[in-house]
Structure 1
Amino acid sequence: MAQEKDIQLAGDLRTVVTRLIKVLRKHSQTADKLSLTERSTIALLDQHQELLPNELAAMEKITTQSMSQILSNLQQRGLINRRISETDKRKAIITLSETGRQMLYQVRNERNAWLNDAIEATCTAQEQEMLRQVIGPLTKIVNFD
């Protein structure tokens, strides 16, 4: 019986997190200009500062050919920079441009603002405190491999 309850918790959590992600995606006009993988690639570059195309492809779990197309599109939009490695001229090092960084932060700010408004409008002070307390366990779940 406990196992069935645990499976129900997992299903409920998956459903609500998936729905929250979908709602958040709708609340950024800036994000609509890029695909999910393009946005994720920009976020990885912000996090890691600089990466090789094959590293980005591995992190995104896509082929290097697909990543090459994504990087080409991002470069055409001025969102990333490419430079040749000084130690290995065959390798291109990818970094986030200032324009790319500004776009990423604008998307985050738009979504954070909407989510903050939604929390304030729908949750009591006690429920808001519960949300603060659940961040730790949710982070552990996200980091589980």
Structure 2
Amino acid sequence: MENSQLEYVTELRTAITRLIKKLRKESVSGQQLSLTERSTLALLQQHKQLQPTELAAMEKITNQSMSQILNHLLQLGYINRTMSETDKRRAIITLSADGEQILKQVRSERDHWLAQAIAATCTNQEQDLLKKIIAPLEKILEFE
């Protein structure tokens, strides 16, 4: 890769990283949760129910670390833990109504801030450009 391409990649990475950090700060509700805790809640919303080992694998963390995260989320009332019908040794984790609500609230706060920021700082042409960049960014996310 040429240096000019590397500069572009570095600038893109830096801008995306800064935007993510800014979005995290713009959700008062989300600040009580770590990034992994928020991601765990989102996985539970997506998959409906998962075992702790499945969550740990998806988050690429140890089972012990996931256990600590799940204990915290359980204390906050954001998840439910039940025993499997077929194997009483296995726990099944689901998102509680409060967990669903906190995810909705965090996303709403962030979306609201981002919409305001885009409207205040970007021209109509730049807003169209932002809409067009979503598909290529999603392709990058799928790259392994």
TM-score bracket, normalised by the shorter chain, equals over 0.9
Q: Quick check: 1:6 aligned with 2:5?
A: yes
Q: Quick check: 1:138 aligned with 2:137?
A: yes
CA distance in structure 1 between the aligned counterparts of 2:123 and 2:16, rounded to whole angstroms: 20
Q: Residue 64 of structure 1 aligns with which residue?
A: 63
Compute the displacement of 1:87 (Å): 1.4
CA distance in structure 2 between the aligned counterparts of 1:104 and 1:65, rounded to whole angstroms: 24
* Aligned residue type for 2:30: A
* Aligned residue type for 2:50: L
Q: What are the Cα deviations for residues 41-87 of structure 1, in whole angstroms up to 9, with x where unaligned?
A: 11111111111000111111111011111101111111000111111
CA distance in structure 1 between the aligned counterparts of 2:97 and 2:139, rounded to whole angstroms: 32
Displacement over 3 Å in runs of 4+ = none
Compute the displacement of 1:108 (Å): 0.2
CA distance in structure 1 between the aligned counterparts of 2:95 and 2:58, rounded to whole angstroms: 16
What is the root-mean-square deviation in Å for CA atoms of aligned residues?
0.9
CA distance in structure 2 between the aligned counterparts of 1:59 and 1:86, rounded to whole angstroms: 23
Question: Given the two structures, how large is their TM-score scaled by the length of structure 1?
Answer: 0.96
Compute the displacement of 1:131 (Å): 0.3
**Residue 28 of structure 1: SS of its match in structure 2?**
coil
Compute the displacement of 1:20 (Å): 0.1
Compute the displacement of 1:35 (Å): 1.3
> 5+ unaligned residues in a row in structure 1: which ranges?
none
Q: Residue 116 of structure 1 aligns with which residue?
A: 115
Share of identical aligned residues, percent? Answer: 60
CA distance in structure 2 between the aligned counterparts of 1:10 and 1:48, rounded to whole angstroms: 33
CA distance in structure 1 between the aligned counterparts of 2:8 and 2:58, rounded to whole angstroms: 29
CA distance in structure 2 between the aligned counterparts of 1:109 and 1:143, rounded to whole angstroms: 25
**Residue 88 of structure 1: SS of its match in structure 2?**
coil
Q: Residue 77 of structure 2 aligns with which residue?
A: 78
* Aligned residue type for 1:37: T
